[in-house]
Structure 1
Amino acid sequence: MNDRGSAATRETERIRAAYDGRVARQTAAGLYSPANAAHLFAIQGRQRALLRRLRDEGLWPLADKDILELGCGSGNVLLELLGYEATPGRLHGVDLLAERAAAAHARLPHLALSAASGARLPYADHSFDLVLQFTVFSSILDRTICYTVANEISRVVRPGGAILWYDFWINPVNKQTRGIGPREVQGYFPGCRFTFDRITLAPPLARRLVPLSWSGALLLENLRFLNTHYLAIIRPIK
């Protein structure tokens, strides 16, 4: 195995170990439960921003779009897309970890889901109108691999299509992830047009504030300066 293959294998194992530990902690704490008000607040804020940008960019409706989610996990975002009237037969998902892809398939057996690395996507060039990555790149510490994954995403996007990016720009707590700002994102996708929205109130703050005042948290989120994620629409220039 060459050095690049060895690095990719090491990074995969690191991500697997980090993910297993993180999920166990978060499940025990109930952080990602639908009954957690702060988590619901974050999801709804992301959904509003995403739908607004899709409309503004002329990417709505979704029914006639071929869509791929990179890092689909257990299928939560895919379920959201179905709620936005995406066509099931045109909706695809891949995840690096086979057990996560299997969990998504158990929930959504009618979708085309598979275990695959973002560094080698099992699709032909220009297969999709939309490719989504939600908090995938921030889990990859090796920037060389980030460039490889970005190249693969760019390869499978059609002319006139778009990449939907949602990831955090700052995370001072979890050493197994890293924040990614707009300049780095732009470096991964040269020759593209970018629209960035800074969204999602800092989760530690949201967990304290949302149970006390949903409207107060919304007001603070709308001010943006305490928001931790970027939603970006990345469009290849024709």
Structure 2
Amino acid sequence: MKDTSSSSSSSSNREAANVRDRYARRDVGRDANRYSLSDPYALAAWQERQRKMLSMLADAKLNDFSALDVLDVGCGSGGNLLDLLRLGVDPERLQGIELLPERAEAARAVLPAICRIWNEDALALQIPAASQDVIVLFTVFSSILSDAVQQQLAAQVWHWLKPGGAVLWHDFVYDNPRNPDVRAVPLQRVRELFPEAHMRKQRVTLAPPLGRAACRVSPALYPLLNAVPLLRTHVLCTLAKPL
């Protein structure tokens, strides 16, 4: 009989190594300021996302931030975690998982020491079941090119989520033909990954090439162009787990 657990583990380990390689390629020659809030486009996109995120969490009755246990999967250098701290999440109840050691160290450097940052593959972590009120997944699944590993991670996240809690999802829905290291995650795929979830969704984020060009002219162009839904490249969702 084939050992499916061993095969699954091998597949996830392979994909984790591939994700590390893809990020290393992406980081070569990348303008570090592109995602800094000092960049007018990055600031406009972040402000839009923050406003809509707060509204969606309020709709899900998850806006008493000091009472929430929150986990950011793929937390990068800690930007989302800092946002959550400013919103009032207790640092003792805030955790992040980051696959790349240099990003995990950068997150630890800017966050309170009591925040737990795991430098691990999320699929290898033993986090208690039904222990998290909100699990953040921002541009994580678009970096996983294996369908099977996407499904494994979605199942793991759902296992960690409390009934009544929600996954907070942000990812892009159009392929980038210039970047073979990522792929779009359309809404249909999100529904397949979290079939039991009650989804609330909004299209967000003015297409980056257009948005950057527009904001170089004037940041005031961002909301004008972003009023056209077809020009928004990402989706923001809450994926609520039934009680």
1:165 match = 169
Shift of 1:31: 1.4
1:168 Cα offset (Å) = 0.5
RMSD value over aligned CA atoms?
A: 1.5
Q: Distance in 1 between matches of 2:67 and 2:173?
A: 32
Gaps of at least 5 residues in structure 2 are none
- Counterpart residue number, 2:134: 130
Q: Which runs of 5+ in 1 are unaligned?
A: none
Among candidates 227, 237, 240, match of residue 235 of structure 1: 240
Does the residue aligned with 1:230 lie in a helix, a strand or coil?
A: strand
2:120 aligns with 116
Change beyond 3 A, Cα 1:224–1:23: same
CA distance in 2, matches of 1:122, 1:74: 22
CA contact (8 A) 1:121 1:152 kept: no
Query: Which residue does the alignment assign to 1:143?
Result: 147
Of 174, 183, 186, the match for 1:178: 183
Q: Distance in 2 between matches of 1:160 and 1:3?
A: 33
Deviations 1:9-68 (A, max 9, x none): 22122211111221233236x312332111111111111111111122211121100000
Q: Distance in 1 between matches of 2:36 and 2:123?
A: 31
Q: TM-score, normalised by structure 2?
A: 0.92
Shift, 1:115, TM fit:
1.3
1:196 matched to 2:201? The reply is: yes
Report if the CA contact (8 A) 1:193-1:236 is conserved: yes
Aligned length: 237
Range moving further from structure 2, 34-43 or 137-146: 34-43
Q: Which AA in structure 2 matches 1:110?
A: I
Identical counterparts, % of pairs:
35
Name which of structure 1's ranges 30-39 and 86-95 shifts more when overlaid on structure 2.
30-39
Aligned match of 2:40: 37
Deviation at 1:6, TM superposition (A): 2.7
SS of the equivalent of 1:170 reads: coil
- Matched residue type, 1:10: R
